[in-house]
Amino acid sequence: MTVHQVDALREQVKKRLPEKRMAHVLRVEEQILWLGKMLLPTELLRLQVAALLHDIAKDTPDEEQIALCETLGIPLTEKEKALPPILHAKSGAYIAERDFPEYVDSGILYAILHHTEGDVPMPAFARILMLADFTEKGRTWERCKACRRFLESIVYAKTKAEKWHYFSLAFAYMLHLKYDYIASVTEGLDEKTKKMLAYYGADAHFE
Q: How confident is the model at residue 176 (pLDDT cuts 50, 70, 90)?
A: confident
Which domain, by its residues, includes 162? 3-201
User: Is 207 contained in some domain?
Assistant: no
Q: Is residue 134 part of a domain?
A: yes
Q: Is residue 176 part of a domain?
A: yes
Give me the pLDDT at residue 205, please. Answer: 39
How many domains in the chain? 1
- Domain containing residue 115: CATH number: 1.10.3210.10
Looking at the chain, the whole-number percentage of residues with pLDDT higher than 90 is: 59
What is the rounded average pLDDT of the residues 119-143? 95
The pLDDT of 196-206, averaged and rounded, is 66
Query: What is the mean predicted confidence (pLDDT) over 170-197?
Result: 76
Q: What is the mean pLDDT of residues 189-205?
A: 70
pTM equals: 0.90
pLDDT bracket for residue 207 (50, 70, 90): very low
Look at 94-98, 168-172, 173-177, 184-188 and tell me which has the smallest mean pLDDT. Answer: 184-188
Q: Is residue 153 a part of any domain in this protein?
A: yes
Kindly state whether residue 27 falls inside one of the protein's structural domains: yes
Which pLDDT tens digit goes with each residue over 29-75?
999 999 999 999 999 999 999 999 999 999 888 888 888 888 878 87
When comparing pLDDT for 56 and 190, which is higher? Answer: 56
Give the pLDDT score at 206.
38
115 part of a folded domain: yes
Per-residue pLDDT of 13-30, as tens digits, reads 999 999 999 999 999 999
What rounded mean pLDDT belongs to the chain? 88
Identify the residue with better confidence: 7 or 174.
Answer: 7
* In-domain check, residue 183: yes
Residue 45 within any structural domain of the chain:
yes
CA-only gyration radius of the chain, Å: 16
